[in-house]
Amino acid sequence: MVAPAVPELTEEILYESTDARTEVLAALRELGPPDLVQLIKQAPRNPGRQTGVYHHVTGVDASSSASLAAYINTLTYKETNQSTTKIVEGIYCCYNAFSRLDMRVHVTIPGSVDSYCIDERGEKRVASDELWLETYLCSVLRAYSYADDGSGETIRKIMGVRRFNPVTNTETEHRFLQAAEHLFFRGWQLGSDSVVQVPNNVSNHLTTGLLKYFHTTGRFASGINLFEKLRTRNVEVSSLLAKVLFMGNEEVQAVRVLHDSVKQSPMDYVMLDTQAKFLMGKAVNPKSSDLKKDRLRMALGCADRSTVAAPSEFGTWARLAEVYVAMEDWENALTTLNSCPMFTYQDKDAPIMPEPKEIHLPTLPETRLDEIDSEPESKYQEQVHPSLLNLRAAQYKGTFKQAYSILTEMTAKIGWDQLLKIRSNVFVMEEEYRSEKQPPQGEPSQRNASTDVLRGSPGPPTNGSEHADDEKSVNGESTAPTLVAENGVIGSSAEKSVEKPSHTVTPEEAKGGIEDAEATEEQLSRFNNKRLCERWLDSLFMVLYEDLRIYTIWRTEMAQYRAQQMQYKKSAEEWEILGSLADRLHHQTEAVEAYRACLSIRFSPKALSGILGDFEKEKNTRETVAAVIRLVTWQYRWYSEFSPELLLTIRTLIEDEGAVKLTPPPSAFTSLPKHQASDKFTMLEIKSLSQFNALKPTPLLIIDFYATWCGPCKQISPVFTRLSTQHSSSASVIFAQIDVDKAKDVAQLCGISAMPTFQFFRSGKKVDEVKGADVQQLTTKIGYYTGLVAKEGPVPTSTTGTKAGGGKPEDRKGPESLRGAIDIESGRLLGTTLLSSIRNIASPPPAGYALSSLSGPKILAYIPFTTTVIPSYLSFKIDTKTLSSAPSRITVGSNVPVIVKKVKNKDGSETETNDLDMESSIFKAENTQVFNVFSDEYVEGRVELKLKASKFGAGQGVSNLVVRIEKNLSGEEGTATKVGEVDIIGLKV
């Protein structure tokens, strides 16, 4: 695999990046920042002028100084002869979180390699083998810690970070697990996740990294062996062993391990929490309600005991709250959530660098997709409504994020109004507290404290911050900004359906009130069964209210627009925020809808990763693979070739579908020419003009003109060979080489003036060429032309065989347009406008659309032929300005029986009836094929859909086709589908 490009951030002053790293060493708390690579470049003709550049990297083998020096050495290989500067010096910095040292390797090119370490005081120390072992383990853990989850959030945090997979084979896995075993009981020194208060032997960054590795790779046997050995030294490790056994579906053995271990250590909160989580999972889809209650009852016992064992840990209380939610015991769930100890979120150690002089973020041709927009995100911030930018829940992390998730889960199950009622039953409300402190005057009003809106009361700060609530009320009217659609409809009426919660009394306020006035025993007795709500939980309710208010406005406006058959317009960034909002509130369908709308405007890794989860749940293999390809391409464009979440998705696909289904089978190579079908690939060598002329008519001929004395030719030759093996899976594509000194007549005929030169011939005509050892350009063009040939399908031979209808061999024709064979009079359309017709398919109009749906995206076209045909593929052409109206889901059926009747009316006229139906007709087809088309597949407004020969080319041929367009790229039910041209390519029988 080609390594990602190398980003470069230029220093104002030489070595300022390494100096800045040294200054912050004392402030590092956990695993440390990504590795720093600082390079010195100088012009060959001006040695006195040097430039310092740097970038960050994770996943590089840091087991020794030699491996780090080798990485710097690989960077010199990327420099070509045309480069104006050369790397003459490099420093690799890798943080050792165990000993709090920065390991450094100084490489002079050409010259020596010097390794040393810098402590927190900036002093040099000698690097020992033990320090290198610690450094290696930290580097692997950092690679997993700083890896992106596919959404791009981590990639955007730090500029110019190359990410590699730290464990690529069994040898590196063995080294990693050996280091982990050796240093396991020092893992607490590395710190832990933000939801863990006190790191211990089984809750720290080392164990988190190990579990993530086993979960991602599926190497459960290695994990079981590791933890079995460590368990003999400390029974606490049993919880980790059980988790890996659960991952590997060894549930019986895992339960036995936990049962035996809890007997030895009955108050180990991690083991109790593991038991509770397992029992909750078993209660999700039980065979009976009694079985569910029994399992949740056991989970409740484990979770309750874990809070006693670790009362200061957030995870134990959160698990207990989740059990209560599963049991639908809402009051106890809210009370338990209020008891959770909350911690300030501690983010990962990020590099603190001075402002770079210049920033160079290069791209590779493998990452170039039209849909990927590499412009800065600030472009889209200007299009976002302020009310969407101020949603504080999107910024929650750590304990607050988990607590908010539990609160939103309760809201999704019982509704906002019911949650407020339960809240008022559990906690002392502010209105209630004030009325008890002050003697009543006159008849008390009948008001419900759970839904009473306190006018003029500002919202509480979030997470204990000093920021007041963003919205205030004046005279009972909300002054908070409302969500306004681009079309101008204001959703102020919609927000009235969501009640703003009244405030509770916090412990601080209650304490202050007691100091002000001594309450009577009768007044205090009314609060005996209620609790004081923590300020952070009261703040969470206000934040949840704001989320629900915006969500309700959005859904109400969309319903109004659909009722009026109008398009609801938002910017891509707004759709992305709305999708994230719906996701937080556990409205998955609405989240996917918003993410699709975002993707119809521009590419968004966050939106696509959100939809990816939906694809996986639905077991939609094709769309899952397509989404993974796009996300991997985007990650690769930003120098990352390692994402554990995407690797897990691919591994799950292979387990579910099989590797054979996801990769080309060996039989795909049996149709190769003899010179390409051998076990060891041998490049075809063209030695004469006659041989060249014989190969020119090939659908695609790619020739490498080289010379044995040419240095760049030797450098790029392995690349050309590799590309040949990747793309030569069809007899329609031939790769060849020509030695210009041996075949001078061919080189002269082709106008070769420099080496290497790569020329592309299509059916005897030269269409393109690449001069020089340009790997990026060569890779891009080979991929483009081979893809073009693959879409056109195999070219039928003209040397043997006869047509199905008889005739001479030379009369055989290749695939052609079948528009002339369409029976215009018998064809029918459903769901289209009056201007749409079958005639528009047979003879495309000079302007406008051939097909346009009447309302909604669905169109059904019944296309009969005057003769039997064998269709090869369908072609759709659309207007790129209205890409959102292009078809995205298409079903094609063959040989559908259609009954057409003509009934005479009383006035003598005839009325036609037929049994065509938008939903049921396609199920009558002899064979069907479904296509899911993405926006990037419309190249210059055209997409070609290959029909399977096994379905449409077998038997006696096809007499008619039924094409049903089910969805368009907008993803909305109210958006019409518009198609400029439709063509059917194939053979007439």
The set of catalytic residues is 710, 713
Give Cα separations from 466 to 148, 461, 463, 469, 539 (angstroms): 32, 6, 9, 10, 12
Query: Which of 621, 554, 651 is closest to 247 using CA atoms?
Result: 651
Alpha helices by DSSP H, 659-792:
659-662, 674-677, 689-695, 711-727, 744-749, 775-792
Q: Give how far the C-alpha of residue 316 lies from the chain's centroid of Cα atoms, to the nearest Å.
A: 30
- Secondary structure class of 942 (helix, strand, coil): strand
Distance CA 463, CA 568 (A): 35
DSSP 595: H
Rounded to 5 degrees, φ, ψ at 888 are: -120, -25
**Residue 738 · residue 705 · CB < 8 Å:** yes
From its phi and psi, is residue 619 left (phi > 0), alpha (psi between -120 and 50) or beta?
left
Distance CA 678, CA 936 (A): 35
CA atoms within 13 A of residue 74's CA, in its CB half-sphere: 14
Which two tokens mark 267?
């108050």
Which two tokens mark 760?
């592309």
Query: Which of 4, 9, 86 is closest to 360 using CA atoms?
Result: 9
Query: Which amino acid appears at position 95 of this protein?
Result: Y
Place of tokens 């906002």: 416
**Strands 859-877 and 828-830: what pairing?**
antiparallel
Rounded to 5 degrees, φ, ψ at 787 are: -65, -35
**Residue 712 · residue 754 · CB < 8 Å:** no
The number of residues making up the chain comes to 989
**Strands 900-904 and 910-914: what pairing?**
antiparallel
Rounded to 5 degrees, φ, ψ at 842 are: -70, -35
**Is 841 exposed, middle or buried, given 0-12, 13-18 or 19+ CB atoms closer than 10 A?**
buried
Which two tokens mark 677?
């079908």
Tally of CB atoms within 10 A around 110: 7
Query: Which of 329, 516, 331, 529 is closest to 432 using CA atoms?
Result: 529
Alpha helices by DSSP H, 310-397:
314-326, 330-338, 378-381, 386-389
Query: Which amino acid appears at position 160 of this protein?
Result: G
Longest dimension (CA), the chain: 112
Which residues sit opposite 771 in a β-bridge?
757
Distance CA 238, CA 732 (A): 59
